[in-house]
Amino acid sequence: MITSTLEAEPLITLVGPPNSGKTTLFNYLSGKNYKTVNYPGATVEYSISKLQKKYNFEASILDSPGIISLIPNSPDEELSIDSLYSHPRFGIPDLIVVTIDASQLSRHLLLAKQLIDAKFNVVLVLTMTDILNRKGFDISLPDLTNELNCNVVKVDGRTGKGIDELIKVIEKNILNGRLKPRQNPIRQNGNIHFDKLIGYYKEIENIEDKVIFKSNKDANPSDLETANKKLNILNNPQARNNIGIDQTTLKVDKILLHKAWGLVLFFFIMSITFTSIFWLAQPLMELVDSAFGYLAYEATVLLGNNWFGNFIANGVISGTGAVLVFVPQIIILFLILGLLEDTGYLARGAMLIDRPLSKIGLNGRSFVPMLSGFACAIPAIMATRTIPNKRERLLTIFIIPLLSCSARLPVYALFLAFLFPMSKAWIAGLVLAGIYIFSTISATLIASLVNKFNNKIIKEVDNSSFILELPSYRIPKLKVVATNTYHSSMAYVKRAGSVILLLSIVIWFLTYFPDYNPQVNSSSMSQEQAEQLIGSERLSHSFAADLGKFIQPVMSPLGLDWRVGVSLIPTFAAREVFVSSLALIFKVTGDKSTLQTSIIREMRQATIAGTGKKLFTTATIIGLIIYFIFSLQCISTLAISRKETGSWRIPLIQLFVFTAAGYILSFVAVNGLRLIGIN
Amino acid sequence: MRTAAELKYGEKGIINDIDGSHPSSRRILEVGFTPGQEIQLINMSAFRDPIAFSVRGTIIAIRKDEASCIKVL
Ligand SMILES: Nc1nc2c(ncn2[C@@H]2O[C@H](COP(=O)(O)OP(=O)(O)OP(=O)(O)O)[C@@H](O)[C@H]2O)c(=O)[nH]1
Ligand SMILES: [Mg+2]
């Protein structure tokens, strides 16, 4: 075994410019499924894994955020580059594998040269050689190896082409590196002179001239490689600048970045994205929904009407089922965002709205984090690391929790189904898009207010900059997008199976016990009415009701009662649980209809105790939607906000300001609507 | 001498110099805007800012303000 000759397991770090294919290669080597995106800056954190067993070589492999050069340009870049030299957790790399986009050799070699000059142990991986070939060019590996004095391998991390060769080269270089006395790589000085950079580029241009040649598609390239190359250079000394931009990209950009229509198309694309979530998911959702309704019904029949049967049917099946019926929506949300990400359009979106965003203190680079905020605030807040300006970054983090994340989707979907019956599902789709637009507008408004009036919330000032590569358009790789979607959706399902199941059980417990048996004189009622009366009597004597007494005063101004209040408490751990709580509190099992139909039916019948007024009305539902749009009810978001901003100040402000805003605006909406006659 | 920010839509220019006093100048150099390179203004956002150049076989979008530190012939 090779490992026996090594003292410790070697560490390989993948380094390269943004969007050069690091994560794609990392996933192939490790068998993991980290997200790859056609946008520069997809990875923002180091992640570690082991090389897959099948390569017969034990090593740890580290994926890193893309960097343009070894000289940092922002504190985040500095951290990222420092970790390259010596990662605080994973240590000093034995080998650096640099990924270089072969179709952009002259730009990407800068980093490679810097790493080699800094005396790292380097292996070069040329990615995207397929793109270079399509443009009619090829690279001579022996020449490039000679020029750089390090091993070079062509690899396609999507298909695995060239991986075996890469493993051999990695092994060889690590063993060689271990034989030499270890020297620490040299740090680059932050004040590096302009001329030095220009000098680097001169060298690189020379190298490029020597290694890149026009490939003749009709001939056998391996035979004619050298001949072609020589001819080419002799005949056409200017050839090197003609690698050129992908023609399709230029054509598509003529439309999507049209001087006048570009922005209109941008808003159109965004609206389609969000409306289709509702429309596409509708039929699938009904399927899943009836399955859970049926399951809950069968469980009651099978296990009988005792505490155990009730626990399984309500606590477990309805509780988690209420959340799981929204899996189709979640899948479609991730699928559509994923497709959009993989086309290369996102960088254009960032460019298109840089101007308006910079007016309110954000940056074009805020766009992608904000967009992923519609999926989940946690990765979105981490993604803000690609914003070099500290102030803009903090402001982006500040407003991300206001964007409607996927955990809110079940809640909105339920409310919209309540407001609009099935026959009007298309309106629900439009209103959902409306909610997304509304949450985006309020987020940007709040950003501009904070930026303008309140330097206490965000104090930093810094040079604002927007430099972003617009990658070539691609037809999205369905397999890549599907894998990403699968993993994101599984995470949602797992939450339903863990946190949400747990909370459902707690709520079930609180609503079922102390197992009060009311004496009801049911002689003058139908059986159904009697059951309902018993149900509500039981609930009003439950532990949940005791808890509810404290919440009642807070809920009354919103036209709601303690039952909704109790359902809102667990949402601070997971917003989706609101739907489960409603299902449990309003007791929805007992017949064969779909879970959602039963929840909505029970919601329609619910009245506020003592007054006989309906609990869920158009006004109170709108109020609740508004509450959910604003309030920050997610502990994990607070934790990541604390981590990324470096103190508790911003997360605490977010918690109090947003939750208070949700409450107050909901109050205003409910009572305003009532004033104008909408109940 | 003109700056890249003054190029017209579709116009080409050869970079002559980068104004080192601009805070973004080093990054601009690092992404490939070096003296001698031919650039072309190929895209503009609806607000005419940022603008996108083709440089070294790629498209790079930068703000007008940042483009003004690129001197072209
Ligand atoms: N055509 C082609 N595309 C590739 C190749 N390798 C990766 N890609 C695609 O290039 C895009 C970027 O790949 P990533 O692996 O996310 O790049 P990265 O270097 O991790 O990027 P950052 O994390 O943003 O720094 C994805 O859309 C990949 O599918 C390749 O060899 N050929
Ligand atoms: Mg990556």
Beta strand residue intervals within A162-237, DSSP E: 212-214
CA-based angle A34:A36:A40, to the nearest 5?
A: 130
CA distance A11 to chain B (A): 28
CA distance B46 to chain A (A): 5
| pLDDT at res. B23 | 87
**Predicted confidence band of residue B6 (pLDDT cuts 50, 70, 90):** very high
Report which secondary-structure segment, H or E, holds A273.
Answer: helix A261-303
- Residues of chain A in Cβ contact (below 8 Å) with chain B: 68-69, 71, 73, 103-104, 106-107, 110, 192, 194, 197-198, 201, 241, 243-245, 249-250, 253, 257, 259-260, 262-263, 347, 351-356, 364, 463, 465-470
Q: What is the ipTM of this complex?
A: 0.96
The DSSP call for residue A318 is I
| pLDDT at res. A189 | 63
Of B29, B56, B66, the CB nearest to A194: B29
Whether residue A95 is predicted with pLDDT greater than 60 in this model: the reply is yes
Q: What is the CATH number of the domain that holds B58?
A: 2.30.30.90
Q: B24, exposed or middle or buried, with CB in 10 Å at 0-12, 13-18, 19+? A: buried
Sign, CA dihedral A174-A176-A182-A187, equals: negative
State whether A354 and B34 contact (CB < 8 Å).
no
State whether A253 and B20 contact (CB < 8 Å).
no
What percent of chain A is modeled with pLDDT above 90? 32
Beta strand residue intervals within A328-384, DSSP E: none
| pLDDT at res. A459 | 67
Across residues A147-154, what is the average pLDDT? 93
Chain A within 8 Å of B1 (Cβ-Cβ)?
A: no
| Pick from A124, A137, A128: nearest CA to A156 | A128
Sign, CA dihedral A57-A63-A66-A72, equals: negative
| pLDDT at res. B60 | 95
Atom of ligand 1 nearest to the CA of A477: 29
Q: A650, exposed or middle or buried, with CB in 10 Å at 0-12, 13-18, 19+? A: buried
**Predicted confidence band of residue A593 (pLDDT cuts 50, 70, 90):** low
CA-based angle B65:B67:B70, to the nearest 5?
A: 130
**Predicted confidence band of residue A220 (pLDDT cuts 50, 70, 90):** very low
Look up tokens 């003592």; give the residue. Answer: A610
Residue type, A108: H
**Predicted confidence band of residue B63 (pLDDT cuts 50, 70, 90):** very high
Model confidence over A32-76: pLDDT tens digits?
888 888 888 888 889 999 999 888 889 999 999 999 999 888 777
| pLDDT at res. A589 | 54
- Determine the Cα–Cα distance for residues A339 and A335; give it in Å rounded to an integer: 6
Of B49, B58, B61, the CB nearest to A107: B58
| pLDDT at res. A291 | 83
State whether A106 and B32 contact (CB < 8 Å).
yes
Are A169 and A153 in contact by the 8 Å Cβ rule? The answer is yes
Whether residue A536 is predicted with pLDDT greater than 50 in this model: the reply is yes
- Determine the Cα–Cα distance for residues A2 and A273; give it in Å rounded to an integer: 51
Domains of chain A as residue ranges with CATH = 11-242 (3.40.50.300)
Q: How far is the CA of A24 from the centre of ligand 1 (A)?
A: 6
Q: How far apart are the first and last CA of chain B?
A: 7
Structural domain that includes position B28 = 2-72
Atom of ligand 1 nearest to the CA of A480: 29
- Determine the Cα–Cα distance for residues A262 and A237; give it in Å rounded to an integer: 38
| Pick from A280, A401, A397: nearest CA to A333 | A280
Collapsing DSSP states into helix, strand and coil, what is residue A607?
A: strand
Q: How far is the CA of A37 from the centre of ligand 1 (A)?
A: 7
Across residues A416-423, what is the average pLDDT? 82
Token pair, residue A422, equals: 């099935």
Q: How far is the CA of A31 from the centre of ligand 2 (A)?
A: 15
Residues around the ion ligand 2 (C-beta < 5 A): A 22-23, 42-43
Chain A within 8 Å of B16 (Cβ-Cβ)?
A: no
Model confidence over A362-407: pLDDT tens digits?
999 999 999 888 888 888 998 898 898 888 999 999 999 999 888 8
- Determine the Cα–Cα distance for residues A608 and A24; give it in Å rounded to an integer: 56
CA-based angle A64:A68:A74, to the nearest 5?
A: 85
Collapsing DSSP states into helix, strand and coil, what is residue A449?
A: helix
Atom of ligand 1 nearest to the CA of A43: 23
Q: How far is the CA of A184 from the centre of ligand 1 (A)?
A: 30
Closest residue to atom 2 of ligand 1, CA basis: A128
**Predicted confidence band of residue A339 (pLDDT cuts 50, 70, 90):** confident
A570 prior amide bond cis, ω within 30: no
State whether B56 and A354 contact (CB < 8 Å).
no
| pLDDT at res. A153 | 95
Q: What are phi and psi for residue A226, nearest 5 degrees?
A: -65, -45
Are A79 and A29 in contact by the 8 Å Cβ rule? The answer is no
Pocket lining for ligand 1, CB < 6 angstroms: A 16, 18-24, 36-38, 40-43, 65-66, 127-128, 130-131, 156-158, 342, 477, 480
Look up tokens 């605006």; give the residue. Answer: A665
Model confidence over A326-336: pLDDT tens digits?
788 788 888 88
Whether residue A224 is predicted with pLDDT greater than 60 in this model: the reply is no
State whether A198 and B66 contact (CB < 8 Å).
no
β-strand partners of B3: B71
Whether residue A184 is predicted with pLDDT greater than 80 in this model: the reply is no
More confidently predicted of A412 and A244: A412
Model confidence over A538-555: pLDDT tens digits?
777 788 788 888 888 888
| pLDDT at res. A322 | 76
- Determine the Cα–Cα distance for residues A515 and A190; give it in Å rounded to an integer: 70
Plot region of A558 (φ>0 → left; ψ -120 to 50 → alpha; else → beta): alpha
Model confidence over B9-23: pLDDT tens digits?
999 999 999 988 888
Q: What is the DSSP string of A535-559?
A: HHHHHHTSHHHHHHHHHHHHHGGGT
Token pair, residue A401, equals: 């929790």
Of B26, B32, B47, the CB nearest to A355: B47
Whether residue A426 is predicted with pLDDT greater than 70 in this model: the reply is yes
Give the number of domains in chain B. 1
Atom of ligand 1 nearest to the CA of A342: 27
More confidently predicted of A452 and B51: B51
| pLDDT at res. A584 | 81
Look up tokens 């190029």; give the residue. Answer: B7
Are A66 and B25 in contact by the 8 Å Cβ rule? The answer is no
| pLDDT at res. A532 | 67
